[in-house]
Structure 1
């Protein structure tokens, strides 16, 4: 069957975000909002996407999954 889920990324280090986070004052303000005290990596999103595309997640649907180091808390 078809499942529909949402990956809700937080601050993920990409070319675009690295430019924005180059300002150390701004980067520190953002980091203060992340309980895990680190920015995400593209691999963090990719691993979840692979899980959701496979048979191991066949019974997961309608989920909104934050990948944000706890920023949403």
Structure 2
């Protein structure tokens, strides 16, 4: 009878081992996908940062500055 219990226990351990192997394989697959996604996200962030720096560090084209003239005799000033 003891030998039968041992064999049953051994079979349960083998079944658990197979389940653990399947779980580990799924974990590795998910981990690989997660790593791929993280690297992709890092690359996108780097690209976005470079684009932002390019936009903000760009030299602005010279623009004409409009200078307001001093008050003229014909200016109308509204007061409260």
Give the TM bin, normalised by the shorter chain: under 0.3
State which structure, 1 or 2, has the greater radius of gyration over its C-alpha atoms: 2
Q: Which has the higher contact order (CA 8 A, sep 6+)?
A: 1
TM-score, normalised via structure 1 length: 0.23
Structure 1 or 2: more helix by fraction: 2
Structure 1 or 2: more strand by fraction: 1
TM-score, normalised via structure 2 length: 0.22
